[in-house]
Amino acid sequence: MTQRKAGKRSISFGPGVGITASSTVVGPMEAAGPLGRYFDTVLPDTKYGEKCWEGTESKMLKEACESVMQNAKAQPEDVDIIVTSDLLNQLTSSSYAVREMPINHLGVYSACAGFAEGVIVAGMALVGGFASKAVVAVSSHHDAAERQYRFPTELGVQRPPWAQWTVTGAGAAFLEFPAPDPLVVSRATLGRVVDYGVKDAYDMGAAMAPAAADTIEAHLQDFGLPINHYDLILTGDLGSYGLEVLRELLARRGIVVDTQLEDCGALIYDRNKQDVHSGGSGLGSSATVFNGYVLKQIPQGRWRKVLLVATGALHSPVRVKQSESIPSVAHAIGVEVKES
Amino acid sequence: MDYLMAFLVGGLICALGQLLYDTTKLTMAHVMVLFVVLGSVLTGVGLYDKLLTLGGAGASVPVSNFGYVLTKGILSHLQRDGWFGLLSGAFELAGAAIAAVILFGFAAAVAFKPKG
Amino acid sequence: MMGSNVKRPSSSDPVRVEHQMDFDAVAAQMRPKPLLARNLAVAYLVGGVICMGGQAINNLLLSLGLDKAAAGGRTAVVLIFIGALLTGLGVYDQLGRFGGAGSAIPITGFANTVVAPAMEFTREGYVLGMAAQLFSVAGPVLVYGLASAVVSAAVRYAAGF
């Protein structure tokens, strides 16, 4: 089976791009959630010894990169491309995280869909013969994000019940082609930016659900798959409210979800004990839950085929003040354990 | 009893603000602006004085009172200096509060680090 | 805030139009509703208590011999100090999550809107960061407070009071 374009939106990675290692770094709140034990490194606090949150985020992202290379037993010199993403203006977390790494760097941005976008970009380079080893790493930090997108952190703001909490976390994956192990990324579907008119900066879950529905539908069509081909469909950060909107939108398109449909943001926190309203959001949401919780349990047989649909709300604070709405995009990667 | 009236009037003003926040697209900043403007307007028509007599701190603690003190300051200067009072009277009564908020803001920024 | 301001799609693609209608219906139907009664009650309670606190400070100052105007001005400053301190200690944001308008509308909330950005932006320096951002949240209150006061006072004065 060779790599090829599939339909109008998708890519088949042929024999598959191997995921040979992963790493996760999370803040204390994420470690205190129900998935705490699946994360590799836990920060003692949200500062991690840095003077500002932007510095903390870069430090987290850098550590995720260094850990994943260690886990893959690779030297930086062996890595052909590192693809990173974060939520801050000018991708500052990325730039400062990689500035001492002697590795070719591509920075990508699609808000919280960045991890899947990174895997797609790296995957295309790998199967295209332009690289044989790549690292994909992304991060988000709650306070750095709040400060930029919404309000100063000590301001007494009351968030509505559909709001989400940006995850403080970084996740990285080490990719190789040809794949040395059976765990591979075999398929991907590229997202298209859509805008369904959502103007509330707290309403990201709803803003992203149509993009997720669109990408899932395209994926199933391009590959001729039923939705239950996958044991688990995992969205990035729709939150509990956005997830239910997605389920209903899919049903209205004739796709009844008869397999596990979960959302990283809804899984990462205990919504009863932690004040996160609809759940987690941010690049850290999909990156930590996928690279920690999911990838650690696939070898144990919990799932064999997982579709990660990373969702991004392309929120521009400037444009929202100019009375524009918030467009969104969703990129999907299909991961599986190949039969030998 | 003045404590009861402060509670009843002040609570009501805040609850009205909450109602606007929860049922409209207004942000809390919009609600605060709306209230301060209402404070000015009600002072202009002579009603805020009555609200203060009724509610005491229940009317003087909410941000609407800021509109009241700004308007009152201007009125006192208008009576004294004529139309230039529109400008010279603005911070007559409100000046202490503004100076306080700038200085305490500065001090807090020096003394405390944000916790997130 | 309830509902999102949904734009009518300008697409002529019937499938897209149908998807938009589906979304509008589903999102509105499934959106968790704010517990309005609870929020109103809490805002009333928190705001009421803060105002009672203000009354206590005012009464104390009056009992020390100050006249009404002097006591009022000093009460405001004391409340601003309390709001600033609680913001500095990282407590006012917790109060705000819970109390909503009950903590935002009193003058202590005004102090919070100035102190919070001041603390936040010290990282970018004291001149270009902290000082430049001091009124980034509270600015509109000053601007519109002043503008409306000028108009209200002018009208009253012109009408001969």
pLDDT at C12 over 90: no
Asked if C58 has any chain B CB less than 8 Å from its own CB, the reply is yes
Contact map slice: B 76-105 vs C, CB within 8 A: 78-79, 85-86, 89-90, 93, 96-98, 100-102, 104-105
DSSP symbols for A190-238: ----B------TT-HHHHHHHHHHHHHHHHHHHHT--GGGSSEEEESS-
Q: Angle at CA A223, nearest 5°, toward C16 and A241?
A: 50
DSSP class of C33: P
Per-residue confidence band for C8, with pLDDT thresholds at 50, 70 and 90: low
pLDDT at C4 over 80: no
CB neighbourhood size of C8 (10 A): 10
Asked if C6 has any chain A CB less than 8 Å from its own CB, the reply is yes
Per-residue confidence band for A2, with pLDDT thresholds at 50, 70 and 90: confident
Contact map slice: C 63-102 vs A, CB within 8 A: 87-88, 90, 92-93, 95-101
Digit-coded pLDDT (tens) for C78-89: 999 999 999 999
Per-residue confidence band for C2, with pLDDT thresholds at 50, 70 and 90: very low
How many CB pairs below 8 Å do chains B and C form together? 277
**Mean of per-residue pLDDT scores for chain A:** 96
Digit-coded pLDDT (tens) for A123-179: 999 999 999 999 999 999 999 999 999 999 999 999 999 999 999 999 999 999 999
Residue C45 distance to chain A (closest CA, Å):
16
Going by C-beta distance under 8 Å and a sequence separation of 6 or more, which residues neighbour residue A75?
Answer: A69
Distance (Å, rounded) from C-alpha C161 to C-alpha C158?
A: 8
pLDDT at A101 over 60: yes
Nearest residue in B to C96, CA atom: B28
Per-residue confidence band for C66, with pLDDT thresholds at 50, 70 and 90: very high
Phi (first) and psi of residue B96, to 5 degrees: -65, -40
Per-residue confidence band for C1, with pLDDT thresholds at 50, 70 and 90: very low
**SS3 of residue A329 by DSSP:** strand
Digit-coded pLDDT (tens) for C133-151: 999 999 999 999 999 999 9
Average pLDDT over residues A175-185: 97
Q: Angle at CA A70, nearest 5°, toward A67 and A71?
A: 85
Residue carrying structure tokens 């994926």 = A219
Residue A326 distance to chain C (closest CA, Å):
11
Q: Which of A142, A157, A199 sits opposite B116 (nearest CB)?
A: A142
* pLDDT at residue number C109: 97
Residue A68 distance to chain C (closest CA, Å):
31
Nearest residue in C to A54, CA atom: C123
Verify whether the Cβ–Cβ distance C148 to B63 is below 8 Å: no
Cβ–Cβ under 8 Å, residues A24 and A292 = yes
Per-residue confidence band for A340, with pLDDT thresholds at 50, 70 and 90: low
Verify whether the Cβ–Cβ distance C32 to A162 is below 8 Å: yes
Asked if C54 has any chain B CB less than 8 Å from its own CB, the reply is yes
Asked if A47 has any chain C CB less than 8 Å from its own CB, the reply is no
Tokens of A311: 């969702």
Q: In chain A, how many H helices and how many E strands?
A: 11, 14
C contact chains, 3+ CB pairs < 8 A: A, B
Asked if C47 has any chain A CB less than 8 Å from its own CB, the reply is no
Distance (Å, rounded) from C-alpha A274 to C-alpha A51?
A: 26
> What is chain A's Cα-based Rg?
18
Q: Chain A contacts of C96, Cβ < 8 Å?
A: 155-158
pLDDT at C3 over 60: no
Cβ–Cβ under 8 Å, residues A178 and A294 = no
Verify whether the Cβ–Cβ distance A245 to C117 is below 8 Å: no
Q: Which residues pair with A187 in a beta bridge?
A: A12, A334
Digit-coded pLDDT (tens) for A235-252: 999 999 999 999 999 999
Cβ–Cβ under 8 Å, residues A92 and A141 = no
Asked if C125 has any chain B CB less than 8 Å from its own CB, the reply is no
Per-residue confidence band for C10, with pLDDT thresholds at 50, 70 and 90: low
Q: Which of A21, A29, A90, A20 is nearest to A284 (CA)?
A: A29
Instruction: Report the Cα B80 to chain-centroid distance in Å.
Output: 24
Q: Chain A contacts of C87, Cβ < 8 Å?
A: 154, 156
Verify whether the Cβ–Cβ distance A158 to B28 is below 8 Å: yes
Per-residue confidence band for A339, with pLDDT thresholds at 50, 70 and 90: confident
Q: Chain A contacts of C88, Cβ < 8 Å?
A: 154
Digit-coded pLDDT (tens) for A60-97: 999 999 999 999 999 999 999 999 999 999 999 999 99
Q: Chain C contacts of B57, Cβ < 8 Å?
A: 51-55, 58, 75
Cβ–Cβ under 8 Å, residues A168 and A32 = no
Q: Chain A contacts of C104, Cβ < 8 Å?
A: 156, 158
Digit-coded pLDDT (tens) for B42-62: 999 999 999 999 999 999 999
Verify whether the Cβ–Cβ distance B3 to C58 is below 8 Å: no
Tokens of A324: 């524009």
pLDDT at B13 over 80: yes
Strands A183-189, A328-337: parallel, antiparallel or unpaired by DSSP? antiparallel
Asked if C54 has any chain A CB less than 8 Å from its own CB, the reply is no
Q: Chain C contacts of B8, Cβ < 8 Å?
A: 48
Verify whether the Cβ–Cβ distance B114 to A154 is below 8 Å: yes
Average pLDDT over residues B95-112: 96
Q: Chain B contacts of C121, Cβ < 8 Å?
A: 109
Q: Chain B contacts of C72, Cβ < 8 Å?
A: 60
Verify whether the Cβ–Cβ distance B115 to A200 is below 8 Å: no
* pLDDT at residue number C9: 52
Distance (Å, rounded) from C-alpha A277 to C-alpha A289?
A: 18
Digit-coded pLDDT (tens) for A290-314: 999 999 999 999 999 999 999 999 9
Verify whether the Cβ–Cβ distance B96 to C109 is below 8 Å: no
Going by C-beta distance under 8 Å and a sequence separation of 6 or more, which residues neighbour residue B115?
Answer: A46, A153, A154, C90
Residue B44 distance to chain C (closest CA, Å):
5
How many CB pairs below 8 Å do chains A and C form together? 119
* pLDDT at residue number C160: 82
Asked if C145 has any chain B CB less than 8 Å from its own CB, the reply is yes
Residue C63 distance to chain A (closest CA, Å):
33
